[in-house]
């Protein structure tokens, strides 16, 4: 017998739409399955069997985050199949900073009205992000909340767990002056600073689909919706073949907030501004918003999604390894003795 509640439907919650959403998303979730998955979609909890072979002291590492007001751009563009990648990226890029391999992911979607095809599109993006990260999508929740969210809007958040051997956790104890800071390019604005982005570009009153020469013929909406890059696989490959002293995921707060999180007291990062490959969208933001350079570097990733610190003698090898994994990595600075955590010049 099919579960149905007319009285619940009269309050704005259609539980049959939820069942349809689950059916539509199953094909996407199936692509993320790894050998550790022990449960199917629809249970009360996601089960995952840990493979601890070769680990002496396994440490679980967890991360959680959302997509933020970038979702407003998805609403304006009526495009919902990429924000799930952002959701996964914001979690797994964080946990890789200590050397952990992501194992599984769970998502949470809250909406004013459950449109099954839209929910399936969102989960399609989540699944793609999981594939890119090598993580399994083992569970999630879709909450229909009429009266709390507008019918055409939703929020999206996620959670990931990874594992790392205690002896291989990345710390900064051996970091010293002269170590090299490597940049991994971002794909765009990623998923931070969108409250300012939306204000500067006045997105609700602008043609978001018109191609712009400044953006290489792409529209502003298309450029802003470019998914956050997931760095898990290339970084894991680097960790297998080189000694890494620190990793920072460049998110909200830009260079000034995030790079110092992987640097010990008494040291700072001297960044060569001329080396940073700033993307056109950031030049456009600075110009239209009248935003000073320091504020730009203190808010956005400026074209650098992740920074990695290695010994000077290992720098060329590290860049080569990363480039072989599809990253256009480059050296953008060095570690110095300093009370100032980030010096950009």
* Residue ranges in the chain modelled with pLDDT below 70: 1-15, 19, 41-42
Question: Would you state the pLDDT for residue 1?
Answer: 39
All residues at 6 or more sequence positions from 323 whose CB lies less than 8 Å from its CB, including other chains: 329
Q: Which residue has the tokens 């956005």?
A: 300
pLDDT score of 15: 66
CA distances (Å), origin 276, targets 152, 186, 223, 270: 39, 11, 20, 12
Whole-angstrom CA distances from 218 to 19, 36, 62, 250, 279 are 37, 40, 36, 24, 13
Pairing mode of beta strands 136-144, 101-111: parallel
Structure token digits, residue 205: 């009153």
Q: Could you read off the pLDDT of 275-313 as tens digits, one per residue?
A: 999 999 999 999 999 999 999 999 999 999 999 999 999
- The model's pTM is 0.94
In angstroms, how far is CA 221 from the centroid of its own chain?
A: 19
Q: Which of 282, 82, 63, 52 is nearest to 159 (CA)?
A: 63
Nearest to 123 by CA among 107, 134, 144: 107
Residue-wise pLDDT for 45-93, tens only, equals: 889 999 898 899 999 999 999 999 999 999 999 999 999 999 999 999 9
**pLDDT for 42:** 61
């Amino acid at each position: 017998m099919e579960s149905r509640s007319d009285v619940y439907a009269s309050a704005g919650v259609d539980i049959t739409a939820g069942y349809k959403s689950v059916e539509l998303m199953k094909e996407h979730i199936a692509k993320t399955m790894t050998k550790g998955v022990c449960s199917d979609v629809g249970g009360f909890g996601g089960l995952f069997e840990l493979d601890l072979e070769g680990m002496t002291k396994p440490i679980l590492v967890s991360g959680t985050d959302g997509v933020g007001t970038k979702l407003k751009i998805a609403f304006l563009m009526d495009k919902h199949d990429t924000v799930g990648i952002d959701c996964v990226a914001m979690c797994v890029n964080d946990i890789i900073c200590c050397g952990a391999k992501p194992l599984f992911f769970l998502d949470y979607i809250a909406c004013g009205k459950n449109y099954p095809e839209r929910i399936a599109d969102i989960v399609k993006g989540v699944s793609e992000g999981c594939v890119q990260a090598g993580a399994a999508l083992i569970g999630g929740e879709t909450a229909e909340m009429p009266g709390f969210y507008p019918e055409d809007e939703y929020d999206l958040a996620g959670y990931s767990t990874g594992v790392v051997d205690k002896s291989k956790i990345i710390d900064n104890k051996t970091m010293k002056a002269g170590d090299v800071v490597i940049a991994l390019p971002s794909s765009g604005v990623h998923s931070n600073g969108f409250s300012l982005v939306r204000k500067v570009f006045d997105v609700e009153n602008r043609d978001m689909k018109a191609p712009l020469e400044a953006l290489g013929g792409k529209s502003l909406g298309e450029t802003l919706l470019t998914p956050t890059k997931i760095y898990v696989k290339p970084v894991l490959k680097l960790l297998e073949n080189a000694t890494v002293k620190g990793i920072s995921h460049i998110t909200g707060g830009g260079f000034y907030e995030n790079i110092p999180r992987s640097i010990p007291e008494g040291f700072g990062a001297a960044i060569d501004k001329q080396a940073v490959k700033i993307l056109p969208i950031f030049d456009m933001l600075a110009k239209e918003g009248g935003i000073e350079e320091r504020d730009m570097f203190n808010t956005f990733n400026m074209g650098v999604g992740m920074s990695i610190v290695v010994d000077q003698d290992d720098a060329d090898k590290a860049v080569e390894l990363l480039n072989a994994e599809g990253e256009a990595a480059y050296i953008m600075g060095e570690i110095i003795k300093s009370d100032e955590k980030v010096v950009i010049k």
